[in-house]
Chain A
């Protein structure tokens, strides 16, 4: 086994990641919470907490509920606003040696998206991830992502506002994900990430109240992995641009599956909530998979699924 020559680099939208494991937006803040445990340089990339033009307080708690093999959340995009990201978090992330830094952006109107993208265009952030898939905000978010027209409009708007690579994050709460994916591609996206959470609900049978104060929220975790995998597989076959897979990836085997389905890289979300060391375990597990299968370059496995 030739461990020295093991190559984990992957390229998404022209950006090269040292390994294919990216922290998903929403569970990792701005990378400030895990530096007690390991250096950020070990992560392939970090997709920062979804940022809006102005600071946002988010939804009334409770914002989280346990579900079988997963969780529901309704944070509602609580964030300090794009300027705090640019002035405080981005320089710190760079200083701490974070590799690829992705700014996840969200807004209510096309103008919001354009303004945020424009401000980020002047920074050294590596990539934008356009959130048209958050189920927990009343305006914007997934409202744009559930129609081809809405998805295309926001993509086109962001595309016009920045020269940075643009990745659009899709919601699974649609009839045909490939239609949205194609619309986003045609509107100028460089990459697609999917899936955001599935819209779900739980009720306390004693009080008859939904557990989430927002009544419903986004389902994530291992429960949604098969859905995510299927959608990534469909989208990879429908578009030519790069696809990043996420949704319930909980271990290295899940990540490898996702890449075999065609994802160029993977994002890890809820697994980090369960286990802060999950990304490192997944990277280690991918290396182990490469060693035992004599894979020199992780790129070799991308899209190698042999469908019946």
Chain B
């Protein structure tokens, strides 16, 4: 792990849905190192704790990264006071990203499954695979849909789900995932979203024997593995232990996560 700590320039800010913002940050040294699934840890003026936000997309050529996040409380709301031209103080890139399969066979694919704001960290991963990726994205209703076009623009096949059926498949991401896995051509499932959704995905992947990685969330302190507050229960080699979401995650193998 090699991370930077510094002040970086905001070059783009967009409100992409109610309470959801997209920022593009110029940070060539971070973009160079960053991998899909890693996160940035943002200092918020007037708050003791930084806010961890997953990296949505990485543009090495432009030396920038994109983050997409939801206003959850006063801290994340405060971040959105920052505008293009302002600087953002962040530690990045942090954590372990997704294990990206190299040289995927032409008749094989990967699936990303995201719920709500959980679709954000999956864009960067799906883009690596382009047409060999299927993104299943789930939201409460049409108004909450984000990033669908970003996936499509990268030639990723998109299946949209809404709880109320206002767009796409009615219901959760689970049924479409099951249907997709029946085709027996999936090498890996990458998932991020609410805990019950992740638990269901892990179960399906286990029963179908497909490898799965999930990105977890936890209230975080230092972000670099020193303060031990962002613990999560993980089973490795039949042994259950408390690992740190910031340093050991945020991406974990589905079968080792205790959801």
- A residues with a Cβ closer than 8 A to B are 26-29, 32-34, 36-37, 49, 57-67, 69-71, 73, 75, 78, 211, 221-222, 270, 272-277
Q: Which residue of B lies closest to A28 (CB)?
A: B226
Which residues of B are found within 8 Å of A67, using beta-carbon distances? 48
Interface size on B, residues (CB 8 A): 29
Asked if B191 lies at the interface with its beta carbon under 8 angstroms from chain A, I say no
Q: Which residue of A lies closest to B220 (CB)?
A: A64
Alpha-carbon distance between A222 and B46 when the two chains are bound, in angstroms = 11
Asked if B232 lies at the interface with its beta carbon under 8 angstroms from chain A, I say yes
Asked if B84 lies at the interface with its beta carbon under 8 angstroms from chain A, I say no
Tell me if B48 and A270 are in contact (CB < 8 A). Answer: yes
Nearest-Cβ distance from residue A254 to partner chain B, whole angstroms: 14
Tell me if A64 and B229 are in contact (CB < 8 A). Answer: yes
Tell me if B230 and A64 are in contact (CB < 8 A). Answer: yes
Which residues of A are found within 8 Å of B222, using beta-carbon distances? 27, 33, 272-273, 276
Given A29-B226, A274-B49, A275-B43, are A71 and B221 also a contact pair (CB < 8 Å)? Answer: yes
Given A33-B247, A36-B1, A37-B5, are A75 and B48 also a contact pair (CB < 8 Å)? Answer: no
Tell me if B225 and A69 are in contact (CB < 8 A). Answer: no
Asked if B101 lies at the interface with its beta carbon under 8 angstroms from chain A, I say no
Alpha-carbon distance between A63 and B222 when the two chains are bound, in angstroms = 13
- Find B230's partner among A29, A63, A66, A276 (CB 8 Å cutoff): A63
Which residues of A are found within 8 Å of B43, using beta-carbon distances? 274-275
Alpha-carbon distance between A249 and B31 when the two chains are bound, in angstroms = 33
Given A27-B222, A61-B219, are A273 and B228 also a contact pair (CB < 8 Å)? Answer: no
Which residues of B are found within 8 Å of A276, using beta-carbon distances? 5, 91, 222, 224
Beyond A29-B226, A75-B231, list 14 extra A-B contacts (CB 8 Å): A29-B227, A33-B224, A36-B3, A61-B231, A62-B219, A64-B219, A66-B48, A69-B48, A71-B49, A78-B242, A273-B50, A274-B49, A274-B50, A276-B224
Tell me if A36 and B48 are in contact (CB < 8 A). Answer: no
Which residues of B are found within 8 Å of A70, using beta-carbon distances? 48
- Find A62's partner among B75, B218, B226, B228 (CB 8 Å cutoff): B218
Asked if B241 lies at the interface with its beta carbon under 8 angstroms from chain A, I say yes
Nearest-Cβ distance from residue A28 to partner chain B, whole angstroms: 6
Alpha-carbon distance between A93 and B142 when the two chains are bound, in angstroms = 54
Which residues of A are found within 8 Å of B247, using beta-carbon distances? 33
Tell me if B219 and A273 are in contact (CB < 8 A). Answer: no
- Find B226's partner among A34, A71, A277 (CB 8 Å cutoff): A34
Alpha-carbon distance between A29 and B2 when the two chains are bound, in angstroms = 17
Interface residues of B in 7-57 (CB under 8 A from A): 43, 47-50
Which residues of A are found within 8 Å of B47, using beta-carbon distances? 66
- Find A273's partner among B2, B227, B232, B242 (CB 8 Å cutoff): B227
Tell me if A66 and B49 are in contact (CB < 8 A). Answer: yes
Alpha-carbon distance between A274 and B90 when the two chains are bound, in angstroms = 10
Nearest-Cβ distance from residue B89 to partner chain A, whole angstroms: 8
- 20 A-B pairs within 8 Å (CB atoms) are namely A27-B222, A27-B226, A28-B226, A33-B224, A33-B226, A36-B2, A36-B4, A37-B5, A58-B231, A59-B231, A62-B218, A63-B230, A64-B49, A64-B220, A71-B48, A73-B227, A73-B229, A78-B228, A273-B48, A274-B43
Q: Which residue of A lies closest to B50 (CB)?
A: A274
Given A57-B241, A58-B242, A78-B231, are A33 and B225 also a contact pair (CB < 8 Å)? Answer: yes
Which residues of A are found within 8 Å of B224, using beta-carbon distances? 33-34, 276
Which residues of B are found within 8 Å of A37, using beta-carbon distances? 3, 5
Which residues of A are found within 8 Å of B48, using beta-carbon distances? 66-67, 69-71, 221-222, 270, 273-274
Nearest-Cβ distance from residue B95 to partner chain A, whole angstroms: 12
Alpha-carbon distance between A33 and B244 when the two chains are bound, in angstroms = 12
Q: Which residue of B lies closest to A271 (CB)?
A: B48
Alpha-carbon distance between A32 and B5 when the two chains are bound, in angstroms = 16
- Find B49's partner among A32, A57, A60, A273 (CB 8 Å cutoff): A273
Given A33-B247, A274-B50, are A27 and B5 also a contact pair (CB < 8 Å)? Answer: no
Q: Which residue of B lies closest to A69 (CB)?
A: B48
Alpha-carbon distance between A221 and B48 when the two chains are bound, in angstroms = 7
Q: Which residue of B lies closest to A61 (CB)?
A: B231
Which residues of B are found within 8 Å of A222, using beta-carbon distances? 48
Contact with A along B194-235 (1 / 0, CB 8 A): 000000000000000000000000111110111111111000
